[in-house]
Chain A
């Protein structure tokens, strides 16, 4: 049959960006470069993962070396931002709210 030649393999039609689409208007977790994490409500996104987030909590983790003991000290700094535009190239991972209790 002619259909045979055009046979499309039965892979899942779902694409990764659908995961983001299903998270619209939900609170999501975003892992960014430079040890930054964002938790906020996803208002909009595009194919580059540029995003508009609302009621954002940004967590920045820095590693400091204790001058006396030379131990690595992880310090987290948090701040809240009412509305934030995120450039997509800094994004590493996006996780929807499901199964994440402490968002």
Chain B
């Protein structure tokens, strides 16, 4: 499998999965990944906003502008 395939396979696999999206500001968004595009714009469902590890807000659906994204993680958020 080429590296490019590995990347697109990861992106396919995480659709509909719970993810953690971290922004450059350090804010975390936990939710179910509805979709993403080439700019790394992200649509999340059942979104929870965590600031400094504390739940600050909830959104039913959320669009996150791609330029703010640091990473997308499939790992369950560690309890802290």
Do the two chains belong together in a single complex?
yes
How far is it, in angstroms, between the C-alpha of A14 and the C-alpha of B64 when the chains are bound? 15
* Contact residues, A1-26 vs B (CB, 8 A): 9, 11-12, 14-20
Q: Which chain B residues numbered 39 to 80 have a C-beta less than 8 Å away from chain A? A: 41-43, 47, 58-65, 67-68
Q: How far is the CA of A35 from the CA of B16 in the complex (A)?
A: 30
A95 at the interface (CB under 8 A from B): yes
Q: Would you call B15 an interface residue if the criterion is a C-beta within 8 Å of the partner chain's C-beta atoms?
A: yes
Contact residues in B for A19 (Cβ distance below 8 Å): 34, 43, 61, 63
Q: Is the interface of A mostly helix, strand, loop or mixed?
A: mixed
Q: Determine the distance from Cα of A89 to Cα of B39 in the docked complex, in whole angstroms.
A: 13
Q: Are A99 and B37 CB-contacts (below 8 A) given A12-B15, A93-B64?
A: no
List of A residues within 8 angstroms of B59 by Cβ: 29, 93, 95, 99-100
B12 touches A11 (CB 8 A): yes
Interface size on B, residues (CB 8 A): 26
Most chain-A Cβ atoms within 10 A of its Cβ — which of B11, B12, B58, B64? B64
A49 at the interface (CB under 8 A from B): yes
Is the CB of A84 closer than 8 A to any CB of chain B? Answer: no
B residues 4-39 near A (Cβ < 8 Å) are 8, 11-12, 15-16, 23, 25, 29, 34-37
Listed from nearest, the 3 A-B pairs whose CB atoms lie closest are A99-B60, A16-B43, A16-B41
List 26 interface pairs A-B (beta carbons < 8 Å), by A numbering: A9-B8, A11-B15, A11-B35, A12-B15, A14-B34, A14-B35, A16-B36, A16-B37, A18-B43, A19-B43, A19-B63, A29-B59, A49-B65, A88-B65, A92-B25, A92-B65, A93-B62, A93-B64, A94-B62, A95-B60, A98-B60, A99-B58, A99-B59, A99-B60, A99-B61, A100-B59
